[in-house]
Amino acid sequence: MVQYHGFRRILDRERSAWLFDLLQNPRCGFRRRFALGFIRLLLRRRQSGRGRLYLNLGHTGLNQKGLADWIQRTDVRPIYFVHDLIPIAQPQFCRPGELDKHRRRMLAVLETAEAVIGNSQATLDDLASFAAANGRPLPPAIAAWLGSKQPNREHHVPGSAPVFVVLGTIEARKNHILLLDIWARLVPRLGESAPTLLFIGQRGWECDDVFDRLETDDRLGGKVVELNECSDVEAVNYLAGARALLFPSLAEGFGLPMVEALAVGTPVIASDLPVFREIGQGIPDLIDPAKIDEWEEAVVAYCNPENPRRRAQLDRLVNFALFTWRDHFAAIGPWLAKL
C-alpha cells in the first residue's frame, strides 16, 4: 500500500520491493516523483484488496474527500491507529483549522473502521465520548501502548547541583509557562542554590508567551536553559542525571517522555491526567496543573536527592515494567487475527 496526499494504491510484493529500493537512494527527490507518476500509470486498473485488513497508523489524510469511496471500491477493511483527540477536546492548543480537520478525521474513523487501535485507554475513552456525542457507534477497539526500548546512554554520574528536565516540543499544551512561573518564584527565593531547569526540545506553536519569557524575564536568573539542538544520547544523559522529569502537560494522548524517564530510573512529577495515571503504573507524583503552589513544593522537595518524597518514588520505580514493541504486538496480534 502506498499513500501520498490523496493518492492511494495497493502494490503487490514485487512492486513494493521495487519502490523501497528506489526510495532508499539518497538522491530520491526526482526518483520519488518519477515512482509515484509511474505507479499512477501502472495501476490505473480497478484494484481490489480482496477483503484484507488495511492498517492505517497515522491521522494524515483521514479528512480527505474520497477516502470512504476508495475503501468501498477497493474492498479493504481499515484498522486505524488513533493517537489522540486533542484538537477536538482542546483546540486552543492547536493550529488554526485543526479542530474541523481532526473532527472530520475522527468521523471518517468511526464511519469506515473495521476496528481501532488506541495508543492508550485514555485515547479510546475520548474517542468513545466523541462517538456518543456524534451519534456514532464505537467500532471494536483495543488499547495498546506504544512500545519502547531501554534508552541508550553513556555512563553518567549525577552532579551535586539540582537539575530538572522538560523533554519535548515547546508548545502551549505542554504548559511550560507553569514552570517559568515557578522558577520566577524559586530564583529570588533560593538565589544561587535554585535548581536549573532544562527545556530540551524544538520551539513549536501557540507559545509566544513562553518564548518571550525565556528571552526577557530577568527573574529566571539564568537558571532556565533552552536546548533546541540535542542528540538522543545527550537528552538521555541529561534525563538520567536529573532530580526529576517535569511533565506539566494540559493534554496528552500518551506521554513518551514519562516512559523514557522511568526507564532510566529518573522520578517524574507530572500533571494528574488520566493517561498519566494509566501509563505511569502508579509511580510518578501527579499534581493538578492548576495548583502552582503544590508544584513548587514538589520541586523544592526533589532538589534534595534524599528527600523522603523523592526516595518514596525511587522505591516505587523498582516495580516499573517497560512496555516493549514485542509486548505491543503480542497484545494486538491475537486481536487482529480474530478480525
Res. 31 pLDDT band, cuts 50 70 90: low
User: Would residue 157 count as lying in a domain?
Assistant: no
* pLDDT value of position 338: 92
Domain membership flag for residue 37 = yes
At residue 155, the pLDDT reads: 55
Rounded mean pLDDT, 187-212: 92
Task: Look at residue 8 in the predicted model and tell me its pLDDT.
Answer: 75
pLDDT band, very low/low/confident/very high, at 37 (cuts 50, 70, 90)? low
Assess if residue 67 is contained within a domain: yes
Mean pLDDT over each residue of the chain, to the nearest integer = 90
**pLDDT reported for residue 61:** 86
3-state secondary structure at position 200: strand
Q: Measure the CA–CA gap between 284 and 272, rounded to whole angstroms.
A: 10
**Residue 126 and residue 216 in one domain:** no
Instruction: Please report the pLDDT score of residue 66 as a whole number.
Output: 87
4 pLDDT higher than 70: no
More confident position, 255 or 2: 255
- State residue 14's pLDDT score: 79
Domain of residue 209 covers 163-317
User: Do 329 and 279 share a structural domain?
Assistant: no
Q: pLDDT > 90: what percent of the chain?
A: 73
* Residue position matching grid coordinates 476508495: 70
- pLDDT computed for residue 13 by the predictor: 77
Both 306 and 286 in one domain: the answer is yes
Helix-then-strand count for the chain, H and E: 14, 12
The phi, psi pair for 287, rounded to 5°, reads -130, 140
Low-confidence winner among 146-150, 176-180, 205-209, 302-306 (lowest mean pLDDT): 205-209
Are residue 19 and residue 91 in the same domain, yes or no? no
Taking the C-alpha atoms of residue 203 and residue 67, their distance in angstroms, rounded to an integer, is 33
211 and 280 part of one domain: yes
Band of pLDDT at residue 40, cut at 50, 70 and 90: low
Residues facing 285 on adjacent strands? 269
- For 217, other C-beta atoms within 10 Å of its C-beta total 15
Distance separating alpha carbons of residues 56 and 151, to the nearest angstrom: 27
Average pLDDT over residues 42-51: 66
DSSP 8-state class, residue 323: -
Per-residue confidence at 25, pLDDT binned at 50, 70, 90? low
User: What was the pLDDT predicted at 305?
Assistant: 95
In terms of domains, do 313 and 331 share one? Answer: no
**Is 230 in the same domain as 289?**
yes
What secondary structure letter does DSSP report for 148?
A: -
How sure is the predictor about 65, in pLDDT bands with cuts at 50, 70 and 90? confident
The DSSP H or E segment spanning 236 is helix 232-240
- CB of 178 closer than 8 Å to CB of 210: no
Helices (H), 12-77: 13-23, 29-42, 67-74
Reported as a single tens digit per residue, the pLDDT across 142-168 is 999 999 988 876 655 566 789 999 999
User: Do 37 and 81 have their domain in common?
Assistant: no
Is 132 part of a structural domain of the chain? yes
Distant-in-sequence, close-in-space partners of 136: CB < 8 Å, separation ≥ 6 = 107, 110, 111
Mean pLDDT for 293-310 is 97
User: Is 158 domain-assigned?
Assistant: no
Report the CATH number at residue 268.
3.40.50.2000
Is 156 among the domain residues?
A: no
pLDDT of residue 270: 98
Residue 274 has pLDDT above 90, yes or no: yes
The answer to whether residues 131 and 192 belong to one domain is no
Greatest extent of the chain over all pairs of C-alpha atoms, in Å = 72
H-helix or E-strand spanning residue 336: helix 325-338
| Confidence grade of residue 282 (pLDDT, cut at 50, 70, 90) | very high
pLDDT value of residue 176: 96
* Number of folded domains that form the chain: 3
